Amino acid sequence: MRGLFVTGTDTGIGKTVLSAALMLRYPEARYWKPIQTGTHDDDDTAEVRRLSGGQVIDEGVRLADPVSPHLAARLAGITIELPNREGDEVYIVEGAGGVLVPVNDSQMMVDLMVRLGLPVIVAARSRLGTINHTLLTIEALRIRALRVAGVVMIGHRNADNRAAIEHYGEVAVIAEMPHFDPLTRECLRVWAETLPKDLLA
C-alpha cells in the first residue's frame, strides 16, 4: 500500500476533517475507514465524501453503537478481524479513536497500522494537555517501528505547545488546522493547500 494513516490522540479530535483535507490535497488518493462505530449518529465516511468529493471506499466494519470498536462489536455479537488491503493505489486511511483503542480481545488499532505499514499522521488538539497525549501517541507508534509523517494540531494556535511537541517528540508539526464554522468543502480546500505536497513521497 501507499498513502497515509490518520490517527489521533483522542476520539472526536478532528481526524475525519483532516482526512478530507488530505483527500483534497491528494486527489489521486482513496479514502478508507476500515472500522467505524457510531454509524447511526455520525458517518465519517459520508462526511469525507461530502467534504472532499473524492474517491471513497464504503466497505469495512460498520457498527451502530458510538463506543470503542471492541465493545461495539461485542454488543453486535461479532468479533472484528483486522482487514487488509493490497494493490498500488494510494490511500488515506482513518483509524477509529486513538492508537491503543481495542479492536478485539487481543488487538488494538495500532496493530492495524502495523499491518498496513503506512506512515502515520497524528491529529492532536492544540489546547492544554496535548503535550502528554501527543508524546505518548508518538512513543507508541515508534516502539512499533511505524514512521510518524508529522503532527497536525487542531484548534486555536498555541505556539508553546507546538514548540514542546516538536522538541520533545522530535517530530514536525506539519500544519495547524482551525475549527471551521461553517465547515464547507471550499474553506477546507483553501486550508488544504497549506499542507505539504510531499507527504506521499
Q: Which residues are catalytic?
A: 33
Name every residue whose Cβ is closer than 8 Å to that of residue 141 and which is 6 or more positions away in sequence.
7, 99, 110, 113, 120, 122, 148
User: Which whole-number Å values give the CA distances from 108 to 6, 99, 111, 178, 192, in the listed order?
Assistant: 15, 7, 5, 29, 30
DSSP secondary structure code for residue 102 in this structure: B
Counting every residue written for the chain, the total comes to 201
- Cα separation, 143 vs 126, in Å, equals 24
